[in-house]
Amino acid sequence: MSENGLQSKFRHMLFGCARVSTADQNSDHQIDALLRAGVYRENIHIDKASGAKASRPKLDLVLQLLREGDTLKVTRLDRLSRSVLHLVTLGADLRERKIGLHVIEQGIDTETVEGRAMFGMLSVLAELQRELIVVNTMDGLASARARGRIGGRRPRSRPPSPRSCTTRGSRRSSRSPICSTCLAPRCTGT
């Protein structure tokens, strides 16, 4: 049987890619949309990483699994990447390999001329949105610093250094508070 005959016997595969920026975020909405779009659960791959990162383990895996005639499905372009360069490069690579890209919520199907045009326009908007978020965050942090507020996590309490415990021991004070502060067993000697 010819190679074309074999390819026509096998159904083209649908792969889904989802992404959440942090482990606290929930990908259920994306998974549900991909399932409704016909992607089998075992073909849905989820990354927990920032969209600014071009390399993500699950996306990289999906890109290796995709074959000619397959389709990659995502819910929105910003779930794939937020960099125009990465999106355009990825789109060109998929088109060259004859792999479709379907962006469910934005109605983009790169197998059509209109879909490819919309893909390009929304890629630019996705990067613009990311850059606006970064600029607004930086402006907010600068404004807070100007008012004397410091953002970020509170510093973790760290155990005292051995040097500070030694210094405390040289002062004339009871050994019990020093030992408990320095997380050392109470000394019984002199």
Cβ neighbours, 10 Å, residue 175: 14
Q: Coil, strand, or helix at residue 18?
A: strand
What is the maximal distance between C-alpha atoms in the chain?
93
Q: How far apart are the first and last CA of the chain?
A: 91
Contacts made by residues 105-114, CB under 8 angstroms, sequence distance 24+: 105/33, 105/75, 105/76, 106/76, 106/77, 108/77
- What is the C-alpha to C-alpha distance for residues 55 and 184, in angstroms, rounded to an integer? 45
Give catalytic status of residue 21 as yes or no. yes
Catalytic pick among 21, 164, 173, 180 = 21
Active site positions, annotated = 21
